[in-house]
Amino acid sequence: MVSVSILNVTSYTGLELLRLLANHPHFRVTSVTGRSAAGQRLGQVFPQLYALAGGACQEEARHLAELEIMEEPEATELAFVCLPHAAAAEAVQALLQRGTRVVDLSADFRLRNPSLYQEWYKHTHPAPALLEQAVYGLCERYRERIRTTALVANPGCYATAIILALLPALSAGLVSRDLIVDAKSGVSGAGRGLRLDTHYAEANEDLSAYSLGGHRHWPEIVQELETAARAAGQTYEPGLRLTFVPHLTPMTRGILATCYAELQPDGSGRLPTSSQVQALYRDYYAGEPFVHVVDQPPHTKWTYGSNHCLLYATVDERSGRLLVLSCLDNLVKGASGQALQNANCMFGFDERCGLQGGAVYP
C-alpha cells in the first residue's frame, strides 16, 4: 500500500479525499493535518467516517476515524495538499525535499508564468523554481507527463469544466478566437470559510454573478487552451479573447458551464453541423474514462458525487455559433476526484481506482 498524507484535511476537498480514499485498493491515509482541529481524532470532527466504508472495508473506516489530526504531516510516499495558495507552495517545497510526491489542489503551480501568478494572486510566488517541474493535472491532456512527475498542479473546478468543453473545438480550428463562457457553481466551491454571500439566508433562492472584473481561473483556462491549440497546429493570434462570467447558485455541489464560440467555415464556406460537431467531440474523448459526450443538455444532478464530466455540443444555426455545455461536480472532477485520478496515474494504477461510483441521484 502507498502511504498517503492529506494536508488541511478539514477542508471540503480534504474531506472529499477521505471519502474517495476509504475504499481505494492501493492508497492508505496514514497522516492528516488541520491546525484548527489539531489533537482531535478524525472521527470526532467528522463522525460520518465511522460508516464511510462498507463490508470488508469497515476496518479501514475505523482506521481513518481514529487518525489523529496533526499540525505537521508525517513522512509518506504521496501527499495531497489542500491548503490555500501561498501556504500550499511552502508546504510543497518541504514535501518534495523529503522525497514525497505531491498533488497540490491550490492554484500555486497551475500558472507557468510567475508574473501572471503575481498579477492574479497579488503576491510574489513563493517557489518559482518549481513551476517548470510542475505538471498541470489534466489527465486528458498530460497523462504521460503526469506518470513521471513528482508534482501535479491540480486544475481549478471552473477551469476543468471549461477546458474540457473547448479543447476539441480549438484543437480542430473549428471556432474563432472569441469565446464566451457563462458558468454556474454550487456554494461549496467557495470553501468552508465563513462569508456573508455564502450564508444560507443570503445564498438560498438567489442567483448572482461575481468576479466580473476577472476570475482567477481565467489565466489558467487561457493558458491551457492556447497551449492545446498550438500543439494541434492551430494559431489564434494575438491570443484567445475569453469572456468568463461565473455565477453562484443555491446548491451545494455542481458546475454547469455554457460555452459559446463563433464557428469557422470550411474551405467551401460551409459551417459544420451539430452531428459533425458531436462526432468530433466523441472521437476526441474516445476511451476517456471520465469524460462523456451526451445526447442532451446535462444536469448537475447527473454528476453529483462522481468524477465524471458530461459534455453536450451543438450548433446554433441561426447565429453560426458552437454551443458546448459542460457539467461536473466541483468537489470531485473539479477537485478531489481529479486529484485522485492524477495520483492513480502517478503511481501506475488504473485511473478509475477509487472513482468507480456514479452520481448520487436524485
How confident is the model over 95-104, as a mean pLDDT? 98
Q: How far is CA 70 from CA 34, 67, 79, 82, 100, in A?
A: 6, 9, 14, 14, 18
Residues 123, 168: one domain? no
Residues 80, 209: one domain? no
Residues 51, 163: one domain? no
pLDDT, tens only, 7-66: 999 999 999 999 999 989 999 999 999 999 999 999 999 998 877 655 446 777 789 999
pLDDT at residue number 315:
98
Helices (DSSP H) in 86-156: which residue ranges? 87-97, 114-121, 139-148
**pTM score of the predicted model:** 0.97
pLDDT above 70 covers what percent of the chain? 98
How confident is the model over 242-253, as a mean pLDDT? 98
> Are 249 and 207 spatial neighbours (Cβ–Cβ below 8 Å)?
yes
Report which of residues 192 and 348 the model is more confident about.
348
DSSP string of 298-359, one letter each residue? --GGGTTTSS-EEEEEEEETTTTEEEEEEEE-TTIIIIIHHHHHHHHHHTT--TTTT-----
**Domain-located, residue 354:** no
Residues 310, 282: one domain? yes
**Domain-located, residue 309:** yes
pLDDT, tens only, 263-319: 999 989 999 999 999 999 999 999 999 999 999 999 999 999 999 999 999 999 999
Nearest Cα neighbor of 277 from 321, 227, 230 is 321
Residues 189, 97: one domain? no
> Are 4 and 77 spatial neighbours (Cβ–Cβ below 8 Å)?
yes
Residues 225, 343: one domain? no
Whole-angstrom Cα distance, residue 300 to residue 314? 18
* Other beta carbons less than 10 A from residue 95's beta carbon: 23
Nearest Cα neighbor of 290 from 304, 306, 277 is 306
**Domain-located, residue 358:** no
pLDDT at residue number 78:
99
Whole-angstrom Cα distance, residue 29 to residue 162? 31
Rounded to 5 degrees, what angle do the CA atoms 175, 176, 177 make? 125
**Domain-located, residue 128:** yes
| 139 belongs to the catalytic site | no
> Are 321 and 261 spatial neighbours (Cβ–Cβ below 8 Å)?
yes
**Lowest mean pLDDT: which of 57-71, 189-203, 243-257?**
57-71
**Domain-located, residue 275:** yes
Task: Specify the amino acid at residue 218.
Answer: W
The three-class DSSP label of residue 191 is coil
pLDDT at residue number 194:
82
> Are 187 and 203 spatial neighbours (Cβ–Cβ below 8 Å)?
yes
pLDDT at residue number 57:
61
The contacts of residue 31 (CB under 8 Å, 6+ apart) are: 3, 4, 5, 6, 67, 70, 73, 74, 75, 76
Residues 197, 275: one domain? yes
Residues 144, 30: one domain? yes
pLDDT at residue number 52:
65
> Are 71 and 33 spatial neighbours (Cβ–Cβ below 8 Å)?
yes
Residues 162, 148: one domain? no
CATH of the domain at 185: 3.30.360.10
pLDDT at residue number 48:
87
Count up the domains in the chain and report the number: 2
Whole-angstrom Cα distance, residue 297 to residue 324? 9
Residues 137, 37: one domain? yes
pLDDT, tens only, 114-135: 999 999 999 999 999 999 999 9
The three-class DSSP label of residue 110 is coil
**Domain-located, residue 220:** yes
**Domain-located, residue 94:** yes
Report which of residues 357 and 169 the model is more confident about.
169
pLDDT, tens only, 50-99: 776 554 467 777 899 999 999 999 999 999 999 999 999 999 999 999 99
pLDDT, tens only, 149-191: 999 999 999 999 999 999 999 999 999 999 999 999 999 999 9
pLDDT at residue number 256:
98
Helices (DSSP H) in the chain: which residue ranges? 12-21, 42-45, 58-66, 87-97, 114-121, 139-148, 157-171, 200-203, 218-231, 274-284, 337-346
pLDDT at residue number 193:
86
Is 242's pLDDT higher than 70? Answer: yes
Catalytic residue among 82, 157, 345, 353: 157
Residues 88, 183: one domain? no
Residues 141, 167: one domain? no
Cell readout for 322 is 458552437
Whole-angstrom Cα distance, residue 241 to residue 130? 29
**Domain-located, residue 359:** no
Cell readout for 19 is 471519502
pLDDT at residue number 61:
79
pLDDT at residue number 49:
85
Q: How far is CA 202 from CA 205, 248, 255, 259, in A?
A: 8, 11, 19, 28
- Residue 361: phi and psi, rounded to 5, are -145, 135
pLDDT at residue number 335:
98
Which position has the grid cell 447558485?
249
- Domain boundaries, position 69: 2-154+335-347
CATH of the domain at 150: 3.40.50.720
